[in-house]
Amino acid sequence: MSAIESVLVENRVFPPSEAIVKAARISGMPAYEALCKEAEQDFEGFWARLARENVVWNKPFTKTLDESKAPFYKWFEDGELNASANCLDKHIGTPTENKTAIVFESDDGTVTRISYKELLAKVSRFANALKAQGIKKGDRVLVYMPMGVEGVVAMQACARIGATHSVVFGGFSAKSVQERIIDAGAVAVITANFQMRGGKELGLKSIIDEALAMGGCDTLKSVLVYMRTATPCNMVAGRDKTFDEALAGQSDECKPEPVGAEHPLFILYTSGSTGKPKGVQHSTGGYLLWAKLTMDWTFDIRPEDLFWCTADIGWITGHTYVCYGPLAAGATQLIFEGIPTFPHAGRFWQMIEKHKVSIFYTAPTAIRSLIKAAETDEKVHPKNWDLSSLRILGTVGEPINPEAWMWYHRNVGGERCPIVDTFWQTETGGHVITPLPGATPTVPGSCTLPLPGIMAAIVDEAGKDIPNGSGGMLVIKRPWPSMIRTIWGDPERFKKSYFPEEMGGKLYLAGDGAVRNADNAYFRITGRIDDVLNVSGHRLGTMEIESALVSKTDLVAEAAVVGRPDDLTGEAVCAFVVLKRSRPTGEEAKQIANELRNWVAKEIGPIAKPKDIRFGDNLPKTRSGKIMRRLLRSIAKGEAITQDITTLENPAILEQLAEKL
Ligand code: WTA
């Protein structure tokens, strides 16, 4: 076995305890395997059964899957339903109706609660207000809201009248908002005067004004403004209305509009590897089924749970696991307005204790930054809070390095909570490869096995299967209910990006590299395909090198690795490193860089040694916490930055990282 392969072998295995297995909905591996088998033996019958059991249909579907226009697959097409009715009305007349749907904690720590019944009234009233604005079924509505109950209400109200929402994360610029309004042909914007983050009032309505002033938003007729704070904002007569104005006199009863299962519930823009952001279009029936089902499968949600997904509604995770999944499951969830480091970096742990959170779902990036904080300041270490209410932990959005996984397992999960490392994408609608908490033995850094019915595989460039133990491209061989339906307004790009002809045109190409373990067939995501480096003919995952660097736990807090062209070796490895101590300069920096090179050589092999090492106080990240690797590639190459850096949290550090040792 080569040195590179050896780093991929993670020997620690954490099976769920017997008690957890016993109590779980999918109890033990045989139960998981039975579901997989059912899906393999009768693919359509399997999905039809689940769709009947988990979704309330106004009109039952008669055909499960239509593949005649593949890859434009259609699920449950002649069925009719309403997504909001499946999240709210369904619970009325059951014990859930008076249960708390949302516990909201604001930036300043104020807590409010809303029951299912109250939420239904609020959504219905808002839906009536949308109708009064002339918004109807099929119209697109852009949502640009802070985290909170009103954001969820806005999305649910759109769903209730059959309007298609397109949520844009509150950290995106006016230019991005304008482009999305135009691309989606939005007729209305739902926004707030301000959002509160870290004790600061940040303008949202002002950004909408700026976006609209850029011109071209000809379809847009109205702007509804939630007054989050008492500070007034600019209002344009005839176009803009506050929520209070729009809601005045509206009834809190509104019949949900049944839509066809394939009706677009939402469009969510996400970056592709090239070109402008693409509007990922999702369906209503298949998407909703998946949101509900994965709450049951992946989180094993129970009536007494307090579920907390920290994602913003501006991202897919906030759609599926804040707006739709928890409500469809009848769960009580916590929604948090603020940021994890305000007023201190123990906020998450404090909130888990305070609200007795039982399922906690967050991003590896957040975990890593809180590890760093806890290691510099004992007072914000999770051990200062009682986290015994937790029973399941989850991660999402990027590969989690085994060290962060172990820390999460020990310090947050008290070595008792299964960690579900959920792999999925905006395009998949919900989890596709993930452990099941009451079945799958977990391995740090592995998303383990596909959910039942998800025919995930690893193939080469020609779409041919690759044996376990070797890396390749992650694909899904059969359609699944919550998959992307098309790219809004660009079906050709949809086909090209996700079902490339070179691979036969039938495999869904995830865009990630992955490897399955030779023994247990567990998946490990090695990062985006565009992040795979080739150094002197050796394939290296940037993640492997990053993992090696951060495993030097006495020194390294965070690391990002990219490739840059090199005359001698084809590509060279360039590492951007944040140390646990202050940023070194001069001779000292050179010395530490050497220490790290030798460390990587020791961990993986000399070929993986970073040629360049740059130190920064931080790494360039989007507000959602993703490292902006394309920016790092430019810096590594010594190019001027031409990319859009509007979502960059901390632009000042770019200069530091450009500094050569
Ligand atoms: C990455 C987020 C490793 C992956 C839900 C994917 C992950 C991209 C994981 C999608 C995971 C997400 N392990 N990598 N558990 N989850 N990714 O569209 O590269 O924002 O293609 O959806 O994140 O990001 P997106």
Across residues 380-404, what is the average pLDDT?
A: 94
Q: How confident is the model at residue 659 (pLDDT cuts 50, 70, 90)?
A: confident
Task: Give the lowest-confidence range in 42-46, 137-141, 221-225, 583-587.
Answer: 583-587
pLDDT at 7 over 70: no
pLDDT digits (tens, 9 = 90+) for 51-94: 999 999 999 999 999 999 999 999 999 999 999 999 999 999 99
Dist. CA 124 → ligand 1 center (Å): 34
User: Which numbered atom of ligand 1 lies nearest the CA of 447?
Assistant: 15
pLDDT digits (tens, 9 = 90+) for 289-318: 999 999 999 999 999 999 999 999 999 999
Provide the pairing of β-strand 259-260 with 80-81. Answer: antiparallel
Mutational pocket test of ligand 1: of 266, 321, 422, 424, the residue with most ligand atoms within 8 Å of the beta carbon: 424
Mutational pocket test of ligand 1: of 423, 426, 497, the residue with most ligand atoms within 8 Å of the beta carbon: 423
**Residue identifier of the C-alpha nearest atom 24 of ligand 1:** 425
Provide the pairing of β-strand 222-226 with 188-192. Answer: parallel
Question: Helices in 363-513 by DSSP H: which ranges?
Answer: 364-376, 402-407, 491-498
pLDDT at 347 over 60: yes
Q: Please check whether residue 15 is in contact with residue 29, taking contact to mean a CB–CB distance below 8 angstroms.
A: no
User: Which numbered atom of ligand 1 lies nearest the CA of 315?
Assistant: 20
Query: What's the confidence (pLDDT) of residue 416?
Result: 97
Q: Is it true that the peptide bond before 343 is cis, omega within 30 degrees of 0?
A: yes
Query: What's the confidence (pLDDT) of residue 526?
Result: 81
Q: How many CB atoms within 10 Å of residue 300?
A: 23
| Segments of 116-197 assigned E as strands | 140-144, 164-167, 188-192, 194-197
Dist. CA 394 → ligand 1 center (Å): 13
User: Which numbered atom of ligand 1 lies nearest the CA of 400?
Assistant: 13
pLDDT at 5 over 70: no
**Residue identifier of the C-alpha nearest atom 12 of ligand 1:** 397
**Residue identifier of the C-alpha nearest atom 11 of ligand 1:** 423
Question: Helices in 199-356 by DSSP H: which ranges?
Answer: 205-213, 243-247, 285-297, 316-318, 325-328, 347-355
Q: Is 346 helix (H, G, I), strand (E, B) or coil?
A: coil
Dist. CA 531 → ligand 1 center (Å): 13
* Residue list, annotated binding site: 197-200, 317, 397-399, 421-426, 512, 528, 536, 539, 550, 556
**Residue identifier of the C-alpha nearest atom 3 of ligand 1:** 399
User: Which numbered atom of ligand 1 lies nearest the CA of 421?
Assistant: 15
pLDDT digits (tens, 9 = 90+) for 490-533: 999 999 989 999 999 999 999 889 999 999 999 998 867 766 67
Separation between Cα atoms, residue 195 and residue 147, nearest integer Å: 8
Dist. CA 396 → ligand 1 center (Å): 7
Q: What is 536-658's CATH superfamily?
A: ANL, C-terminal domain (3.30.300.30)
* Residue list, annotated binding site for Mg(2+): 550, 556
Dist. CA 160 → ligand 1 center (Å): 29
Dist. CA 423 → ligand 1 center (Å): 6
125, two tokens:
């009233």
**Residue identifier of the C-alpha nearest atom 15 of ligand 1:** 423
The backbone torsions φ and ψ at residue 203, rounded to the nearest 5 degrees and listed phi first, read -70, 135
In terms of Cβ atoms closer than 10 Å to its own Cβ (0-12, 13-18, 19+), residue 6 is exposed
Dist. CA 510 → ligand 1 center (Å): 10
Q: Report the half-sphere exposure of 650 (CA within 13 A, side-chain side).
A: 15
* Residue list, annotated binding site for CoA: 197-200, 317, 536
Across residues 445-473, what is the average pLDDT?
A: 96
More confident residue, 605 or 443: 443
Task: Give the lowest-confidence range in 35-39, 331-335, 496-500.
Answer: 496-500
pLDDT digits (tens, 9 = 90+) for 429-440: 999 999 999 999
User: Which numbered atom of ligand 1 lies nearest the CA of 527?
Assistant: 19
Dist. CA 114 → ligand 1 center (Å): 31
Mutational pocket test of ligand 1: of 10, 425, 482, the residue with most ligand atoms within 8 Å of the beta carbon: 425
Dist. CA 11 → ligand 1 center (Å): 24
Secondary structure element (H or E) that encloses residue 566, with its range: strand 556-566
**Residue identifier of the C-alpha nearest atom 8 of ligand 1:** 425
Separation between Cα atoms, residue 395 and residue 362, nearest integer Å: 5
Q: Please check whether residue 469 is in contact with residue 501, taking contact to mean a CB–CB distance below 8 angstroms.
A: no
Please give the C-alpha separations between residue 617 and each of 398, 416, 576, 579, in angstroms, as whole numbers.
21, 34, 10, 8
Mutational pocket test of ligand 1: of 398, 454, 530, the residue with most ligand atoms within 8 Å of the beta carbon: 398
pLDDT at 276 over 70: no
Q: How many CB atoms within 10 Å of residue 203?
A: 16
Who's near 497: CB < 8 A, 6+ residues apart?
Answer: 272, 278, 487, 509, 511
pLDDT at 275 over 90: no
518: left (phi over 0), alpha (psi -120 to 50) or beta: alpha
The pairs formed by 46-53 with CB atoms below 8 angstroms and a separation of 24 or more are 46/452, 46/453, 47/75, 47/289, 47/453, 47/481, 50/289, 50/293, 51/75, 51/76, 51/79, 51/285, 51/289, 51/481
Query: What's the confidence (pLDDT) of residue 306?
Result: 98
Please give the C-alpha separations between residue 594 and each of 573, 588, 598, 599, 612, in angstroms, as whole numbers.
14, 10, 6, 8, 10
Dist. CA 635 → ligand 1 center (Å): 24
* Residue list, annotated binding site for ATP: 397-399, 421-426, 512, 528, 539
Query: What's the confidence (pLDDT) of residue 126?
Result: 98
Query: What's the confidence (pLDDT) of residue 537?
Result: 52
**Residue identifier of the C-alpha nearest atom 7 of ligand 1:** 398
Query: What's the confidence (pLDDT) of residue 3?
Result: 36
User: Which numbered atom of ligand 1 lies nearest the CA of 433?
Assistant: 15
Across residues 216-245, what is the average pLDDT?
A: 98
Q: Please check whether residue 119 is in contact with residue 88, taking contact to mean a CB–CB distance below 8 angstroms.
A: yes
Residue 634's identity, in one-letter code, is S
In terms of Cβ atoms closer than 10 Å to its own Cβ (0-12, 13-18, 19+), residue 236 is exposed
178, two tokens:
């304008």
Ligand 1 proximal residues by C-beta, below 6 Å: 270, 315-317, 396-399, 421-426, 447, 510-512, 525, 528
Query: What's the confidence (pLDDT) of residue 8?
Result: 52
**Residue identifier of the C-alpha nearest atom 23 of ligand 1:** 397
User: Which numbered atom of ligand 1 lies nearest the CA of 511?
Assistant: 21
Strand order in the sheet with 471-476: 456-459, 471-476, 508-516, 523-528
Task: Give the lowest-confidence range in 233-237, 445-449, 509-513.
Answer: 509-513
Q: How many CB atoms within 10 Å of residue 616?
A: 23
Across residues 393-404, what is the average pLDDT?
A: 89
N-terminal to C-terminal alpha carbon distance within the chain: 35
Mutational pocket test of ligand 1: of 172, 483, 512, 532, the residue with most ligand atoms within 8 Å of the beta carbon: 512
User: Looking up tokens 């109890």, which residue turns up?
Assistant: 27
Of 460, 148, 174, which is closest to residue 335 (Cα–Cα)? Answer: 148
Separation between Cα atoms, residue 110 and residue 362, nearest integer Å: 22
| Segments of 400-547 assigned E as strands | 419-422, 456-459, 471-476, 486-487, 508-516, 523-528, 532-535, 538-541
Q: Please check whether residue 281 is in contact with residue 485, taking contact to mean a CB–CB distance below 8 angstroms.
A: yes
Dist. CA 530 → ligand 1 center (Å): 14
Across residues 459-471, what is the average pLDDT?
A: 95
Dist. CA 397 → ligand 1 center (Å): 4
Dist. CA 578 → ligand 1 center (Å): 23
Q: In sequence order, what are the beta bridge partners of 282?
A: 266
In terms of Cβ atoms closer than 10 Å to its own Cβ (0-12, 13-18, 19+), residue 72 is middle
Q: Please check whether residue 424 is in contact with residue 437, taking contact to mean a CB–CB distance below 8 angstroms.
A: no
User: Which numbered atom of ligand 1 lies nearest the CA of 425?
Assistant: 22
User: Which numbered atom of ligand 1 lies nearest the CA of 426?
Assistant: 18
pLDDT at 188 over 60: yes
Average pLDDT of every residue of the chain: 93
User: Which numbered atom of ligand 1 lies nearest the CA of 510?
Assistant: 21
